[in-house]
Amino acid sequence: MKKFALVFVCPALLLCATEQSPWKANDQPALTPGIIGEWDDWAIACPTILKRGSKWWMLYEGIIFDTDGVRSAFGIAESDDKMTWRKHSQNPLFRPALSETQSCSSPCAAWWRNGFLVVYIVSEDPIQAAFSGKNPEDAPVAARLARSDDGLIWNNMATAQVPIFSKTSYGFQPSLYAEGDRLHLWWVGPGTDDQPALFHSISTDGLNWSKPNGQPAKEIDAREISGVRVYPSGDFYLLTYVASEADKSSGQRKISVVTRISRDARNWTAQGPPEFPLASLPIDGTPWMIFESDGARLFWSEQQPNNAWRLSSAFCEKKNYASH
């Protein structure tokens, strides 16, 4: 079973932050969990949103929570306007092959060489592994790659040597994008002295990957960071992530989605959309941001009063940050 640590902030802090924020949250969610018993009845998480022709295409993680525990699979949704989304009638379109002690999570997709690629994480549950006779101290976590020509039928790339792996539990959340003939893979993982670092690796075939370059996370932000996404934009790299820290006055956690910009993927500045405050850490969560000529649109997992997690969105006009 997956384990999720939920962290909440004081509602007064959130209200104070949003009153001053140029971000405007949509009243209607982008996607909601399915009805009880459906494959995504508990949470919608980790969206990837790509423009395909005149439509917007989303791959997301759906999570069910029932007497068998918490289990994930991956589904597709489409939209004409980025606001109203339609789930595919045959979802989930991708259920990775897993053992009884494994779970999948944190997908990120890209369009490359006339097809879709998705990178995702497969984790071994230490407790379940122990019950199955495996060594709980050697429960691996690794990334896999899969490909689809149409987004409907997916096949694992079994020979891909994806450089994301740990023999101990770690919450990897990979970010994948294509730029020309190259694939770029980014993730936060344990670096020097097991301190978090932002890693980057490149591939020209999806099978063989370069030795990762790492940058200590504290060089990017003194706060704890997770849910990293990197987007190419001409001569720039755009970095978004979730930052959290303890509020000294209240003892609560302050959580927000942060955007940074860089020319060299090393020196990240605070230009771009202002920080967006969150009420809690997104479930299994990596938000997604769409950057367009009129502004930025954010998608994130938001907990509801019934404890289910829907996919919400908010928009920030470019005039609120273009001059920063």
- Residue pLDDT, tens place only, 228-251: 999 988 899 999 999 999 988 887
- Give me the DSSP letters along 104-119: EEEEEEEE-SSSEEEE
Confidence of residue 258 (pLDDT cuts 50, 70, 90): very high
Q: Give the pLDDT of residue 135.
A: 67
Residue 137 has phi, psi (to 5 degrees) of: -80, -5
What is the three-class DSSP state of 31? strand
Q: Which residue has the tokens 């003892």?
A: 251
- Count Cα neighbours of 197 within 13 Å in the Cβ-side half-sphere: 15
The H or E element that residue 63 is part of is strand 55-66
> Is residue 148's pLDDT more than 90?
yes
CB within 8 Å of 15: residues ≥ 6 apart: none
Residue pair 258/244 in contact (Cβ under 8 Å)? The answer is no
Residue 320 in tokens: 């609120």
User: What does the pLDDT read at residue 251?
Assistant: 78
DSSP 15: H
**Could you tell me which residue, 98 or 126, shows the higher pLDDT?**
98
User: Residue 48 pLDDT more than 70?
Assistant: yes
**In Å, what is the CA distance from 285 to each residue of 37, 48, 224?**
22, 12, 14
Q: State the distance between the two ends of the chain, measured CA to CA, in whole angstroms.
A: 44
Residues 150-187: pLDDT tens digits?
999 999 999 999 999 998 889 999 999 999 999 999 99
* Range in 38-42, 70-74, 99-103, 186-190 with the lowest mean pLDDT: 99-103
Mean of the per-residue pLDDT values for the chain?
Answer: 90
6-21 residue pLDDT tens: 333 333 333 333 457 8
Q: Residue 137's pLDDT is what?
A: 62
CA–CA gap between residue 217 and residue 227 (Å, rounded): 12
| pLDDT above 70 coverage of the chain, percent | 89
Residue scoring higher pLDDT (323 or 14): 323
Rounded average pLDDT over 95-124 = 96
**CA 112 to CA 181: how far, in whole Å?**
8
Q: What domains does the chain contain, in order, with CATH numbers? A: 11-320 (2.115.10.20)
Distance CA 72, CA 236 (A): 34
Confidence (pLDDT) at 245: 94
pTM of the model: 0.90
What average pLDDT score do residues 189-193 get? 93
Selection from 82, 80, 87 nearest residue 62 by Cα: 87
